[in-house]
Structure formats: C-alpha cells, structure tokens
Amino acid sequence: MTLWLGLALMTAVAILAVLWPLARRTGSLRSGSDVAVYRDQLEEIERDRAAGLIADPEAASAQVEVSRRLLAAAEVPPAPQASADVATWRRRAVALVALLVVPLGAAGLYLALGSPSLPDQPLAPRLAAARGDQSFDNLVAQVETHLDRNPEDGRGWEVIAPIYLRLGRFDDAVKARRQALRLNGDSPERESALGEALVFAANGIVTAEAKAAFEKAVALDASDVPARYFLGLAAEQDGNRAQAAALWRALIAAAPPDAPWIDFIRGALARVDDGAASGDPSRGASGGQSGSASGGPTEDQVAASSKLDPEQRKAMIQGMVERLSERLHRDGSDAEGWLRLVRSYMVLGEREKALAAVLDARRALAGDPTNLRRLDDLVKGLGLEG
C-alpha cells in the first residue's frame, strides 16, 4: 500500500508540472487595451503638468515617448478569434493527455509487463535465499580462499577438515587436521581426527603415524571411542586378532546400552573373534589369534592381500611393514620380526630397504648366533647376497 501511495503522489506531481504552465494566461494584452492605456497616460501627464507637479520639458519628453508607444500599439492588428480558439484547444488537448493518457498508459504497461501480484521481498530474506542458492563447491572454495589469505586461522582448518573427508579429498583432510592440531593445540578429539584422516588417506590401512595419533588420543582420554576402535583395527591388520578382540570387547563393555556405534563394533569383534561369532565368549581370548605376536604381516596376510587391487594391496602391506619396522628399531630382540620385515620388503619390491633391514638385524642380533644363521639363510634364499 505504501508503494502505491508513493507512486500516485509522484504521478500527481508530474501532472501538475505539465499543467501549471498550460493553465497560466498569456501576459500580453490585446492591441485595443494597449491604446487605451497609453491615452490614459497622456491625459495623466497633462494633468500633472497643469498642476505643476512636473516641469514643461519633462512633461513634453514623457508625452513624446508615450505617443510613440501609442502609435506602435495602434498599428498592431487584433488577433483573430480563430487563432485564439486553436491555441486554447491545443492547451486543453495537452492537458487531457497529461491527465489521462500518461497515467493510464503507464498503468497498462505495468500490468502487462510488471508483476503486481508479486509479494514483498524484504532484503534479509533475499540475502538468505542468495546464500542458500550457492553450491556446496562454491562455499568450499570461499573457505579455501579465506584460508589462503589467513593460513593461521585454526578454526577455519577445523571446519573444513571434515568437509574434505566427506568429499573424498583425504590428503587435504590430513593437511587440515595437522594445521588444526598445530594452531588449536593438542586434544584427544584432534589427535583421533588426524589419525582417522590418515587411515582414509592410506586406503583404510592404519599406518604407523595414524596409530601413534590414536595412541596419543587414548593417552589423553582413555574413553575416546574412535581411537580405541582404530587401535583394534591396527592390531587386526598386524595379524594380532586376539589383541584386536580384547580391545573391541573392552570397548563394548564400557559402552552405554544405547550407543549408536555398538553394533558396528560387535560386527568388527565377530570378524576376529570366533567365540563372539559363535556365541562362545570363552573363545577368542587366546584361541582367536592366527597371526604373530611379533606384530608384522604374516605370510598368510601377504597372500590374502593379493585379492585386493594393487593399490590397496600395497597400502595394506606398507602400513603393517612400517609399524613392524618402527617397533623393531625400538626393540631389536625379536628375531622373527626381523625375518618377517626382510621378507615383506621383498614382497613390496623394495630391495634396498630389505638390504638395510638385514644390516640392522645383524647389528641387533649380534649376540645371537643361532638367529644370525637363520638370517643368513634367508638372505641366501631371497638372493640378497652380493
């Protein structure tokens, strides 16, 4: 309603601006009226001279000027009545156009081309709708542009990290998690989130770096569910099914009955614990182990990995080999672990690393002649001599 009142007022002002000059009467007098006026002026001058109000020379000069004007007015013919009528008609036609045609034409054009039934659209809802129309990719690009300009914005890295994970941009998710951890400080949630991103980036393999992040998360908060699950997964991938079962069984025991993730953990437990799968909880504490306590990939695991595609297979073995190598360099007394490490490097086609592992094993087992002979036999069997 306010809009329509404003439009009506502006239309009225525009019409008034057109009609005002048309309504004014012409300031010029007809010639007959001019002659009468000049004659009256001559008589008035004569009266003033007789009364002594003006001197004779001044009176004569004024009479000459008025007489000249009188003669000029007397020579102008009167305007024809027809011309006056035409001028009047034209003014009336213009006034009619201004009063009727212009506003009615404008209204017609608006009804034909405009949208009079469209409801009001305040600025705030329009801005909100514009933001809602932006694509998800555009929003991500805006956050990335902001982080390019403000790389020390820890909150920004923390916001975009799960988005990267959702989009399958796992390497970017790892970078974002590391930045968030560096800028926002250590916490169990951030350590666990970094480990999870590393697992996704490694095609589901719990790498040594990921395992270290999960261990740190559990050290900061022993109830961290994701970290405890992934530590169990790391044990399973290492072939230590008993350890994985123990970790997941403890996680289930500590979980609330309505925990949304409990069925998922039970499924993982059933995968590694024959007792859990068969309903006999007494099994699995020790009988479910089919790997080696030394913590490296067994030959069965390496063979089973051949069912995966090449990238997944390589990532799986590399993750386990990396953790085994890290453990052996902390404690080199495990002869079986050294033998398994050398074999694994050869499976991966990394001969140089296998030779380096042989040298490290010989240093670690220098006081154990029996196991050194076993290592030498393995070296000969794998063709690593020379």
Say if residues 341 and 324 touch (Cβ distance below 8 Å).
Answer: yes
Angle CA 253–255–260, to nearest 5:
135
Say if residues 176 and 192 touch (Cβ distance below 8 Å).
Answer: no
Structural domain contains residue 27: no
**Residue 314 belongs to what domain range?**
304-382
- Measured in whole angstroms, how far is the alpha carbon of residue 221 from the centre of its chain? 32
Flag whether pLDDT at 170 surpasses 90: no
Residue 144 and residue 219 in one domain:
yes
How far apart CA 149 and CA 151 sit, in angstroms, is: 6
Confidence band of 161 (pLDDT split at 50, 70, 90): very high
Flag whether pLDDT at 78 surpasses 80: no
Residue 144 and residue 234 in one domain:
yes
pLDDT in the model for residue 33: 65
Which CATH number fits the domain that encloses residue 227? 1.25.40.10
Residue 221 and residue 312 in one domain:
no
DSSP structure string for 204-236? T---HHHHHHHHHHHHH-TT-HHHHHHHHHHHH
> For the chain, what is the mean pLDDT?
77
| Neighbouring C-beta atoms of residue 337, cutoff 10 Å | 22
Closest by Cα among 34, 20, 37 to 94: 20
Structural domain contains residue 245: no
Residue 232 and residue 313 in one domain:
no
| pLDDT tens track for 321-380 | 787 888 888 888 888 888 888 887 887 778 888 899 999 999 998 888 888 988 888 888
DSSP structure string for 18-48? HHHHHHSPPSPPPHHHHHHHHHHHHHHHHHH
Handedness of CA 263, 264, 270, 273 (dihedral sign): negative
Stretch among 57-66, 126-135, 247-256, 302-311 having the lowest mean pLDDT: 302-311
Which CATH number fits the domain that encloses residue 346? 1.25.40
Phi, psi (5° rounding) for residue 104?
-70, -35
Structural domain contains residue 231: yes
* Direct distance between the N- and C-terminal alpha carbons of the chain, in angstroms, rounded to an integer: 97
Residue 142 and residue 233 in one domain:
yes
The residue length of the chain stands at: 386
Flag whether pLDDT at 34 surpasses 60: yes
Residue 144 and residue 231 in one domain:
yes
What torsion, rounded to 10 degrees, do the Cα atoms 224, 227, 231, 236 define?
110
pLDDT in the model for residue 293: 40
Residue 147 and residue 224 in one domain:
yes
3-state class (DSSP) for residue 153: coil
Q: Which amino acid is at 221?
A: D
pLDDT in the model for residue 23: 60
Structural domain contains residue 266: no
Domain count, the chain: 2
37-43 own/partner pairs: CB under 8 Å, 24+ apart: 38/66, 38/67, 38/69, 38/70, 38/73, 39/70, 41/66, 42/66, 42/67, 42/70
Structural domain contains residue 126: no
pLDDT in the model for residue 131: 57
Flag whether pLDDT at 107 surpasses 80: no
Final residue before a domain boundary, out of 193, 220, 238:
238
Q: How far is CA 196 from CA 74, 200, 225, 375, in A?
A: 111, 6, 12, 36
Return the higher-pLDDT residue of 280 and 67: 67
Structural domain contains residue 222: yes
Stretch among 144-153, 293-302, 313-322 having the lowest mean pLDDT: 293-302
| pTM: predicted TM-score of the whole model, two decimal places | 0.45
Return the higher-pLDDT residue of 242 and 6: 242
Final residue before a domain boundary, out of 192, 217, 238:
238
How far apart CA 30 and CA 79 sit, in angstroms, is: 8
Flag whether pLDDT at 262 surpasses 80: yes
Structural domain contains residue 356: yes
What torsion, rounded to 10 degrees, do the Cα atoms 76, 80, 85, 87 define?
-40
Q: Which amino acid is at 132?
A: G
Across 291-306, average pLDDT: 46
| Beta-carbon contacts of residue 341 (< 8 Å; ≥ 6 apart) | 296, 321, 324, 325, 328, 357, 361
Structural domain contains residue 234: yes
Q: How far is CA 378 from CA 329, 340, 381, in A?
A: 20, 10, 5
Across 9-20, average pLDDT: 73
Final residue before a domain boundary, out of 238, 265, 287:
238
How far apart CA 187 and CA 191 sit, in angstroms, is: 6
